[in-house]
């Protein structure tokens, strides 16, 4: 039985040519605007808000379906977070969103979930009309396009979290599109020991895939442990640091076209396999041109049971998000809670071989036969 890790693992091939090229070069034309390289996406979001002059007394509008790392930068700067509804297909409710824009609203954050473009042109127009800055959250959308244009090129600023899509030890990119905005200051990089530990962690995935087993599979099935991890990350303050030079160099060695093609191929294979699943359905029915998918989201009733089921057969699936930030009033945003309880994301990253994805595709329909059966998620 294979082990399929959740993120692309660091391989010897990724490291080959490490000293040969300057960092960032290979992906330069795939990231819009003037860029600043932070250690994480949340630090980059802090940078975007800072560049816009957001601070105490200001308000920022965020989608109700999100994780704590999107909220923390707003609160760290002393601003207040407001929320707008996201429907069960991940679409923002634009009428409610516009109604929530108040005199103190300085920015609206649009998340391009799982690499799929949100309604970015409509948001652009809304932001112009209301004189508010648009920040595109492309943490899931590195290398994704909307039509001919890169995601991240529409807003006043955009942020990326490239370590989610590439085998980097850290990394967060702030892309500034509005010429009048100043680049924010950067802190020092993390100590090299931290970078080394993170590199080792990324490389562990390669060993685990070769071994066909990972201790994570058992650990992730322990809810207490998952809660502890979540509590620790959600309570942590945003650490604003420069990204490591190792991450910058590895970013420069990435092959965007190959990454996009591979992810799209894996995604399409999983769509074929899951169109008639008895225990879940694909969240997106098609893969629009230009999308570089972060993963393959399924809508599943009894999500936690199926997560454990997939972990038990060696598939490191992700839940998005197991918890919403406590500041989101879920009684006001029932669809965000609905998504929180149902989304399961299968890996489609470039580190997976076609044979591994073929195995997953063949296995998915057989899962309900092997153990129990949960009803298909009807809307």
Ligand X SMILES: Cc1ncc(COP(=O)(O)O)c(C=O)c1O
Sheet holding 157-160, edge to edge: 34-38, 172-176, 157-160, 133-138, 105-111, 59-63, 80-84
Q: How many CB atoms lie within 10 A of CB 58?
A: 18
Q: Which two tokens stand for residue 239?
A: 């650490």
Contact region for ligand X (CB under 6 A) — 40-48, 54-62, 175-183, 255-263?
A: 40-48
Whether residue 177 contacts residue 32, with contact meaning beta carbons closer than 8 Å, is answered with yes
Q: Which of 42, 264, 318, 349 binds ligand X (CB under 6 A)?
A: 42
- Where does this chain touch ligand X (CB under 6 A) — which range of 132-140, 195-203, 252-260, 297-305? 132-140
Nearby residues of 284 by Cβ (< 8 Å), 6 or more positions away? 114, 116, 297
By beta-carbon proximity to ligand X, the closer residue of 8 and 314 is: 8
Q: Which of 8, 23, 33, 41 binds ligand X (CB under 6 A)?
A: 41
Stretch that binds ligand X, among 35-43, 85-93, 94-102, 352-360 (CB under 6 A): 35-43
Among 139, 173, 260, 360, binds ligand X (CB under 6 A): 139
Whether the link from the prior residue into 55 is cis, omega within 30° of 0, is no
Q: For ligand X, which residue of 105, 161, 214, 319 counts as binding (CB under 6 A)?
A: 161
Rounded to 10 degrees, what is the CA torsion of 18, 24, 30, 32? 170
Among 35, 40, 165, 241, binds ligand X (CB under 6 A): 40
206 in Cβ contact with 9 (< 8 Å): yes
DSSP three-state, residue 315? strand
Nearest residue to ligand X, scored by beta-carbon proximity: 41
Under DSSP, is residue 92 helix (H, G, I), strand (E, B) or coil?
strand
- Partnered with residue 159 across adjacent β-strands are 137, 174
Contact segment (CB under 6 A) with ligand X among 64-72, 127-135, 199-207, 337-345 equals 64-72
Q: How far is the CB of 60 from ligand X (least distance, A)?
A: 13
Least distance in Å: CB of 236 to ligand X? 10
Would you say 293 or 314 has its CB closer to ligand X? Answer: 293
Strand 59-63 to strand 105-111: parallel, antiparallel, or no bridges (unpaired)? parallel
The Cα-based distances of 338 to 14, 15, 23, 91, 296 in angstroms read: 39, 41, 41, 14, 18
> Is residue 326 within a helix (H) or strand (E), and if so which, with residue range?
none
Q: Which of 4, 36, 51, 70 binds ligand X (CB under 6 A)?
A: 70
Judged by CB, which is closer to ligand X: 69, or 356? Answer: 69
Taking residues 325 to 354 in sequence order and writing x for each that binds ligand X by CB under 6 A, - otherwise, the string is ------------------------------
* Of 63-71, 86-94, 127-135, 257-265: span binding ligand X (CB under 6 A): 63-71
Residues that bind ligand X (CB under 6 A): 40-42, 67, 69-70, 111, 137, 139-140, 161, 172
């Amino acid at each position: 039985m294979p082990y399929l890790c959740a993120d692309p693992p660091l391989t010897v091939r990724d490291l080959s040519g490490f000293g040969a090229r300057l960092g960032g070069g290979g992906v330069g034309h795939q990231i819009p605007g003037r860029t600043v390289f932070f250690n994480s996406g949340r630090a980059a979001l802090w940078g975007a808000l800072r560049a816009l002059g957001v601070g105490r007394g200001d308000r920022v509008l965020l989608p109700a379906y999100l994780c704590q790392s999107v909220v923390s930068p707003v609160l760290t700067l002393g601003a207040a977070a407001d929320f707008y509804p996201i429907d069960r297909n991940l679409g923002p409710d634009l009428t409610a969103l516009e109604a929530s824009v108040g005199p103190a609203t300085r920015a609206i954050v649009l998340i391009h979930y799982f690499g799929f473009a949100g309604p970015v042109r409509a948001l652009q127009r809304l932001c112009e009309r209301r004189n508010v800055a648009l920040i595109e959250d492309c943490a899931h959308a590195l290398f994704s396009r909307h039509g001919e244009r890169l995601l991240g090129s529409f807003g006043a600023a955009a942020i990326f979290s490239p370590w989610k899509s590439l085998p980097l030890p850290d990394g967060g990119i702030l892309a500034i599109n509005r010429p009048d905005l100043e680049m924010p200051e950067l802190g020092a990089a993390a100590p090299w020991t931290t970078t080394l530990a993170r590199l080792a962690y990324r490389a562990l995935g390669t060993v685990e895939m070769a071994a066909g087993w990972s201790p994570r599979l058992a650990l992730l099935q322990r809810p207490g442990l998952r809660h502890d991890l979540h509590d620790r990350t959600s309570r942590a303050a945003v650490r604003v640091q420069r990204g490591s030079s190792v991450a910058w160099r590895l970013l420069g060695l990435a092959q965007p076209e190959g990454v996009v093609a591979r992810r799209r191929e894996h995604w399409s294979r999983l769509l074929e396999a899951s169109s008639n699943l008895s225990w879940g359905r694909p969240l997106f029915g098609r893969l629009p041109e230009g999308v570089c998918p972060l993963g393959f989201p399924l809508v599943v009733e009894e999500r936690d049971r199926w997560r454990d089921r997939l972990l038990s057969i060696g598939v490191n699936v992700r839940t998005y998000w197991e918890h919403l930030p406590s500041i989101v009033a879920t009684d006001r945003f029932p669809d965000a809670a609905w998504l929180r309880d149902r989304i399961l994301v299968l890996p489609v990253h470039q580190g997976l071989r076609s044979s591994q994805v073929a195995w997953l595709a063949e296995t998915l329909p057989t899962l309900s036969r092997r153990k129990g059966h949960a009803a298909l998620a009807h809307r």
